[in-house]
Amino acid sequence: MEHLASFGNDPSDKPPCRGCSSNLVEPYIKCAECGPSPFLLCLQCFTRGFEFKKHESNHKYEIMTSDFPVLEPSWTAQEEMALLEAVMDCGFGNWQDVAYQMRTKNKEECEAHYMKNFINNPLFSSTLLNLRQIEEARTADTAIPFKPTDDPPRPTFDSLLSRDMAGYMPARADFMEEFDNYAEWDLKDIDFVDDDSDILHALKIAVVDIYHSRLKERGRRKKRFARVVGPIEHDKFIESHALEFELRREIGRLQEYRRAGIQSFCSAKVYERVKQVREDERRKRTMLVDVLQYIQDGRACQQWLSKQARRAITEIPPTYSVVYYCRRCAPPLNLTGLPGTEKLNDREKELCQVVRLVPGAYLEYKQALLNECRRQGGLRLAQARALIKIDVNKTRKIYDFLIKEGYINKA
């Protein structure tokens, strides 16, 4: 009795022979009485009458082979399974690669046989229809009612967190973690040398073949969605997701307005401006924490403080300047630990404390005024104010100090 082999074409998919432990090659023998695990023998061990434990040579047996026609006389069952596996690996329509993987048929034969027997065959379409109707009838009375659940928390669309969670790296157009991400680990220590034995060489070749099959599966999983959905449908799918994120973000902003008691878009604009000012003030209040993080590198700290001081001063709105001058005088600035303090003399330290200017920024402004004075042979207050964009009162104090100390002279 002949039966279709229940394993794939790859010899490693079949259990070894119980007699000689070699890879089974069709046809081979399966004991019909030993079980539940299959007891398989190659033809050589079967002809020698191999016996093991409960298995005896007079047991009933089955001949396992796939070398017989199923749908067409010129196509064996083994070739049918190889065709289905090749189409699954290479994708529908890629008949050149399908034929290359099969090796026994050309691309025209593969395409014609697949279209005739698996696509346009009314037997398969009616069978699938009947299975679908049976499944619908089975689940019609026991269907679980749909209940919407709360939307899971998601990061902001196109934010750094969303890309990290997705594991996608746009710059490389690749994923941070692939399917079967550690497949290369089994291959990294393999080295082919001339003095390898035949068995060791064969084992290394087998490991490489296994790695290739894992790479094929990785590529197949990447292309699975693209094989099911066409390019136009895929673009619509991505655009719909982007639109969903935009709508959710807009709805969240409208809900925030409603919670704040805002009922018009004019009030919403004022709310957004005030909110931005509040965020800027909160950012400035945390500036000291950032300074402490940079304090170990004096040069980096000096550059960062100068940049932050210029940006903070130039970003203050006019209304905030009025409020600042109405307040009482601030205490002198503590210069302890600030970079650049050791480069100042006592009078310059006193100026920085009174004006509340960090030493790094003062040294930078001083050097700029000195260079401009040398270039023009003198410097006026208006030119100094145009050169350093800070508070005009601070500029006047720095200018008067440099004139008094003799660093610069009036034009």
Q: pLDDT tens across 245-261, in order? A: 889 999 998 999 888 88
CATH of 13-65, one of 3.30.60, 3.30.70, 3.40.720, 1.20.120: 3.30.60
313 pLDDT above the threshold of 70: no
The predicted pLDDT at position 118 comes to 81
For the chain, the structural domain boundaries read 13-65, 73-119, 179-226, 341-405
| SS3 label, residue 31 | strand
Q: What is the pLDDT of residues 18-77, one digit of tens each?
A: 888 888 877 788 888 887 788 888 888 888 888 888 888 888 888 887 777 878 888 888
Which tokens go with 185? 């680990």
Give yes or no on whether 73-119 and 341-405 have one common fold: yes
Q: What is the pLDDT of residues 251-291, one digit of tens each?
A: 998 999 888 888 888 888 888 888 888 888 888 777 656 65
* Axis crossing angle, helix 359-376 with helix 346-355, rounded to the nearest 10: 110
- Transcribe 249-279 into DSSP letters: HHHHHHHHHHHTT--SHHHHHHHHHHHHHHH
321 pLDDT above the threshold of 50: no
Q: Which amino acid is at 393?
A: N
The CATH number assigned to the domain with range 341-405 reads 1.10.10.10
Which tokens go with 61? 């047996």
Beta strands in 158-249 (DSSP E): 168-169, 174-175
> pTM of the predicted model, to two decimals?
0.28
Which tokens go with 337? 């630990």
Band of the pLDDT at 350, cuts 50, 70, 90? Answer: confident
Going by C-beta distance under 8 Å and a sequence separation of 6 or more, which residues neighbour residue 76?
66, 67, 68, 69, 70
The predicted pLDDT at position 6 comes to 47
Band of the pLDDT at 372, cuts 50, 70, 90? Answer: confident
- Transcribe 306-348 into DSSP letters: HHHHHHHHHT--HHHHHHHHHSPPPPPPP-TT-TTGGGS-HHH
- CA–chain centroid gap for 383, Å, is 53
Residue 73 in contact with residue 46, Cβ under 8 Å?
no
Q: What is the pLDDT of residues 99-158, one digit of tens each?
A: 998 888 898 999 998 888 887 876 665 555 565 666 666 655 555 555 555 555 555 666
Q: Give me the CATH topology for the region 73-119.
A: Arc Repressor Mutant, subunit A (1.10.10)
d(CA 107, CA 119): 16
